[in-house]
Amino acid sequence: MWREVDIIVHSASITTFDDRYDTTLAVNVYGAKHVAEFATRCINIKMLLHVSTAHAWGYDKRVVPEKAFSMGETINGSRKLDVNEEKLSCEELIRELREKNASEEQITVALKNLGLQRARLHGWPNTYAFTKAMGEMMMRHHLNWNVPLAIARPAIITSTHRDPFPGWLEGFPFRHLDNIAINYGRGKINSFIGDPNTILDVIPADMVVNAMIVAMAVHANRSSYMIYHVGSSMSNSLRFAEFEDFIFRYFKNNPLTNEDGKLVKVGKFILLDSMESLQKKLTEYYALQSKEQNSLQSLPANLKRNINITMRVAEIYRPAALFKGIFDDTNTKALRATAMKNGVDLENLLCFDPGCINWEDYYQKVHLPGITGTFKLKRAML
């Protein structure tokens, strides 16, 4: 392979925000290191494209820059980050737990919690963003300086806008905003953590792919290192309040059925800015459904479990759901300009301009029908 490969696209990663720390480190961090080392050996290499995430810099800036990480850099600057130390922390925890005869389930829970603890120690909101940032560091550190490198940092990826057809999305169960939307449509939740003025940086999957293809063409055989935010917050922002309205109107007009086959009647979706308010609202909602007293302790076990799961998800998503900033896409706009200057058809063939998206039309006619169709199909197959 090292004699024949000329372009490498590295997009493999674990995208769950709170997966096991050892597994996420192995894939997102050391996987990037191994790819960089392999690319350095390739004698005909033209460029390497590494896919990261726009959330790698966390949520402490009003405008998140298309800026590279230095090896060992942290968001909060509290201490120098040592990737090998992170790996050792996992190995030590696993050894301690196995000496105590802990079950695999207990080890998994402990490693999930460790990832979140280590991420927050250094200023990152979750294990995913933390390990993707370390992956960028490893990629740049272990790649030969003369290999052209482009890093694509997509925002929240949604179903396709156009290609291969509108509304295509791979992956189930859903995560992020799609998980919120489907569980709201199912009547499982009526509220979530969030600020109506938060800008949800979402981008259709085909636009991410198109940006990657253009970046590959532009950087091939050109000594360079460039980072591209592929998102919409700078060019065509979508506020959480608009998303809130979109899902309410969609499921009001296109209701899902519950486990008993009855249509779910949704109420107005509510955004709350504190975890305490969210737990109170969910408890009231489930108490009304079960005709129990308005307290968490009086609810049936299955409803308590639903609330606990929702609260854990909300705690993980809280930094993003309350984030007031946007992601700079100056480099990505320059990439479009370069492609247009060279005659690339960015309107019909390789569009990655989020400015052309009508969010209401996209959510009502493309994205929400797409994810509800996928949900119905998967449920029918169970």
Q: Rounded to the nearest 5 degrees, what angle is found at the Cα of 311, between the Cα atoms of 321 and 229?
A: 25
Rounded Cα distance, 213 and 163, in Å: 14
Note the pLDDT tens digit of each residue in 351-378. Answer: 999 999 999 999 999 999 999 998 888 8
Angstrom distances, CA of residue 354 to CA of 155, 190, 192: 12, 30, 26
Is-contact 159 357, C-beta < 8 A? no
pLDDT of residue 94: 98
pTM: 0.92
Of 323, 362, 153, 161, the residue nearest 242 (C-alpha): 362
* Residue 148 DSSP one-character state: -
Per the CB < 8 A criterion, the answer to whether 143 and 42 are in contact is: no
In this structure, the dihedral spanned by the alpha carbons of residues 112, 178, 60 and 138, taken in order and rounded to 10 degrees, is 60
The whole-angstrom separation of Cα 212 and Cα 152 is: 7
What is residue 294's predicted lDDT score, i.e. its pLDDT? 57
Question: For the chain, how long is the longest CA-to-CA vector?
Answer: 70
- Tokens encoding 375: 């949900």
- Measured CA to CA, the distance from residue 203 to residue 23 in angstroms comes to 27
Residue 175: the pLDDT is 73
Mean pLDDT score of the chain: 92
Separation of alpha carbons 65 and 173, rounded Å: 31
Q: Cis link prior to 173 (omega < 30° from 0)?
A: yes
The pLDDT > 70 percentage for the chain reads 97
Question: Residue 312 has which token pair?
Answer: 């854990």
What is the spatial distance between Cα 113 and Cα 196, in angstroms, rounded to a whole number? 29
Looking at residue 274, the DSSP 8-state letter turns out to be S
Q: Which residues are catalytic?
A: 128, 132
CB 230 within 8 A of CB 156: no
User: Do 142 and 135 meet the contact criterion of CB atoms below 8 Å apart?
Assistant: no
pLDDT in tens, the chain (382 residues): 999 999 999 999 999 999 999 999 999 999 999 999 999 999 999 999 999 999 888 777 789 999 999 999 999 887 789 999 999 999 999 999 999 999 999 999 999 999 999 999 999 999 999 999 999 999 999 999 889 999 999 999 999 999 999 999 876 557 789 999 999 999 999 999 999 999 999 999 999 999 999 999 999 888 789 999 999 999 999 999 999 999 999 999 999 998 888 999 999 999 999 999 999 999 999 888 776 555 666 778 888 888 999 999 999 999 999 998 899 999 999 999 999 998 988 888 999 999 999 999 999 999 999 999 988 888 777 6
Say how far apart CA 202 and CA 199 lie, in whole Å.
9
Structure tokens at 191: 């509220």
Burial tier of 159 (Cβ tally within 10 Å: 0-12, 13-18, 19+): buried
